[in-house]
Amino acid sequence: MDDDFDLTADDTYPRADFAHANGSGSADPDEDDMDDSDDPARPLSTIPPAIISKFAISSSRRRPNILVTGTPGTGKSTTAELLALATNAQHIDVGRWVKERSLHDGWDEKWAAYVVDEDRVVDELEDKLAQGGVVVDYHGCDFFPERWFDLVVVLRTDNGTLYRRLEERNYPAHKLTENTTAEIMQVCLEEARGAYARSALCELRSDSSEDLDRNVEALAAWCEEWCEAAKEAQGGEDEE
């Protein structure tokens, strides 16, 4: 058992996930909004440089927003929570917000999940993200505005490890198959690649507690670099 990883079930799904399951597609991202200035030789397994985007500069944000995404069971919530604690940021677990604030279109019996109302989620989060200093986690990522996030982290987990974690969450057989297949097919990674600039994207291993500690430490260091770069780019003093 992975004692350091949250075993709470991911029981919310974006509408697009249900559409994919039924054979229909989702909207393409707006390519005009994507900045792909990163070094194409950089492996996605490394965290990109702390670059201050035009969105961050225009909004005068002094702290970065980070999205942690990945297949259910990869350790998103645990990673995001520990990172928020390490950087004094706010952690928003979108699945929990959806249930607590009824940001959904009801319960789907077949998939045993709430169908997320993406528009209402975006409206609910807009003001929070505009302030900066937020770590968001969710297994869907392509319905969030690209301008929100300075770094998008896709967590990846060995399929055997993932299967055991999901079993411990008491996932039914069809959801075990759905999620382990999604990890094999890199569904979350491809979704992130299609929605965000490569310069803001990385994929990190999340197989063990050692990976968890290593990832949180590296991401916290990145946040510190970003804050220093933002102060230099925008001028002025630190926020009180």
Q: Can you spell out the DSSP letters for 86-130?
A: HHT-EEEEHHHHHHHTT-EEEEETTTTEEEE-HHHHHHHHHHHHH
| 73 appears as a binding residue in the annotation | yes
One pLDDT digit (tens) per residue for the chain, 240 residues: 455 666 555 666 665 554 444 433 333 334 444 455 556 767 888 999 988 888 787 777 899 999 999 999 999 999 999 999 999 999 999 999 999 999 999 998 887 889 999 999 999 999 999 999 999 999 999 999 999 999 999 999 999 999 999 999 999 998 999 999 999 999 999 999 999 999 999 999 999 999 999 999 999 999 999 999 998 887 755 544
Give the contacts of 206 (CB within 8 A, at least 6 positions apart): 70, 74, 75, 79, 155, 156, 157, 212, 215
Q: How far apart are CA 173 and CA 29, in angstroms?
A: 32
Sheet of 66-70: strand order equals 90-93, 134-137, 66-70, 151-156, 201-205
| 78 appears as a binding residue in the annotation | yes
The pLDDT of residue 45 is 87
Assigned token pair, 140 = 């869907």
End-to-end CA separation in angstroms for the chain: 42
| 231 appears as a binding residue in the annotation | no
| 76 appears as a binding residue in the annotation | yes
Q: How far apart are CA 95 and CA 13, in angstroms?
A: 8
The pLDDT of residue 31 is 42
Closest CA to 124 of 112, 116, 113, 133: 116
The pLDDT of residue 26 is 35
| 77 appears as a binding residue in the annotation | yes
The pLDDT of residue 112 is 80
What does CATH list as the number for 41-103+124-233? 3.40.50.300
Decide: helix, strand or coil at residue 156.
strand
The pLDDT of residue 182 is 96
| 25 appears as a binding residue in the annotation | no
Q: How far apart are CA 59 and CA 77, in angstroms?
A: 27
Q: Could you state, in order of their start, the residue ranges of all structural domains in the chain?
A: 41-103+124-233
Assigned token pair, 79 = 């990673």
